[in-house]
Amino acid sequence: MEINSFIGNFASQFDDTDNSVFITSTNYRDIDEWSSLNALAVLNMIEKKYNVHLTPLEMRGTNTIQELFDLVESKK
Protein backbone atom coordinates (compact mmCIF):
# COMPACT_ATOMS: atom_id res chain seq x y z
CA MET A 1 0.00 0.00 0.00
CA GLU A 2 1.31 3.44 -0.89
CA ILE A 3 0.69 6.53 1.23
CA ASN A 4 -0.14 8.79 -1.74
CA SER A 5 -2.82 6.39 -2.94
CA PHE A 6 -4.21 6.17 0.60
CA ILE A 7 -4.32 9.98 0.84
CA GLY A 8 -6.19 10.16 -2.46
CA ASN A 9 -8.72 7.58 -1.30
CA PHE A 10 -9.07 9.37 2.03
CA ALA A 11 -9.58 12.75 0.31
CA SER A 12 -12.26 11.30 -1.96
CA GLN A 13 -14.48 10.90 1.11
CA PHE A 14 -14.79 14.70 1.36
CA ASP A 15 -16.89 16.83 -0.98
CA ASP A 16 -16.03 20.39 0.00
CA THR A 17 -12.40 20.25 1.13
CA ASP A 18 -9.61 21.11 -1.30
CA ASN A 19 -7.29 18.18 -2.02
CA SER A 20 -4.24 20.27 -1.11
CA VAL A 21 -5.33 20.03 2.54
CA PHE A 22 -4.67 16.28 2.58
CA ILE A 23 -1.06 15.49 3.43
CA THR A 24 0.47 12.95 5.80
CA SER A 25 0.62 15.40 8.71
CA THR A 26 -2.96 16.62 8.32
CA ASN A 27 -4.95 16.24 11.52
CA TYR A 28 -8.11 15.11 9.81
CA ARG A 29 -10.21 15.90 12.88
CA ASP A 30 -9.41 19.59 12.34
CA ILE A 31 -10.90 19.62 8.82
CA ASP A 32 -14.07 21.73 8.88
CA GLU A 33 -15.97 19.09 6.93
CA TRP A 34 -15.03 16.26 9.34
CA SER A 35 -18.06 14.57 10.90
CA SER A 36 -19.19 11.18 12.11
CA LEU A 37 -20.50 10.52 8.61
CA ASN A 38 -17.03 11.12 7.17
CA ALA A 39 -15.59 8.78 9.78
CA LEU A 40 -17.97 6.03 8.70
CA ALA A 41 -17.19 6.71 5.03
CA VAL A 42 -13.44 6.47 5.74
CA LEU A 43 -13.89 3.23 7.70
CA ASN A 44 -15.95 1.82 4.84
CA MET A 45 -13.35 2.90 2.26
CA ILE A 46 -10.58 1.22 4.28
CA GLU A 47 -12.54 -2.01 4.48
CA LYS A 48 -13.42 -2.08 0.78
CA LYS A 49 -10.12 -0.89 -0.71
CA TYR A 50 -7.65 -2.39 1.74
CA ASN A 51 -9.63 -5.33 3.17
CA VAL A 52 -8.90 -4.11 6.70
CA HIS A 53 -11.59 -3.83 9.34
CA LEU A 54 -11.06 -1.00 11.82
CA THR A 55 -13.37 -0.26 14.69
CA PRO A 56 -14.40 3.32 15.46
CA LEU A 57 -12.44 2.98 18.71
CA GLU A 58 -9.26 2.08 16.81
CA MET A 59 -9.77 5.03 14.49
CA ARG A 60 -10.23 7.35 17.48
CA GLY A 61 -6.69 6.44 18.50
CA THR A 62 -5.35 8.29 15.44
CA ASN A 63 -5.30 11.97 14.55
CA THR A 64 -3.25 12.37 11.40
CA ILE A 65 -3.60 10.71 8.03
CA GLN A 66 -0.15 9.17 8.56
CA GLU A 67 -1.23 7.62 11.87
CA LEU A 68 -4.34 6.19 10.24
CA PHE A 69 -2.28 4.84 7.34
CA ASP A 70 0.17 3.23 9.78
CA LEU A 71 -2.73 1.61 11.65
CA VAL A 72 -4.14 0.17 8.44
CA GLU A 73 -0.69 -1.09 7.45
CA SER A 74 -0.29 -2.80 10.83
CA LYS A 75 -3.55 -4.69 10.28
CA LYS A 76 -2.65 -6.08 6.85
Bridge-partner residues for 27, per DSSP?
64
The CATH number of the domain holding residue 39 is 1.10.1200.10
Residue 53 CA: distances (Å) to CA of 20, 25, 26, 37, 67: 27, 23, 22, 17, 16
Which amino acid appears at position 57 of this protein? Answer: L
**Dist. CA 62–CA 57, nearest whole Å:** 9
pLDDT computed for residue 3 by the predictor: 97
pLDDT computed for residue 58 by the predictor: 96
Helix (H) or strand (E) holding 1: none
pLDDT computed for residue 76 by the predictor: 87
Question: Domain limits at 46?
Answer: 3-75
pLDDT tens digits in sequence order for the chain, 76 residues long: 799 999 999 999 999 999 999 999 999 999 999 999 999 999 999 999 999 999 999 999 999 999 999 999 999 8
Q: How many domains does the chain have?
A: 1
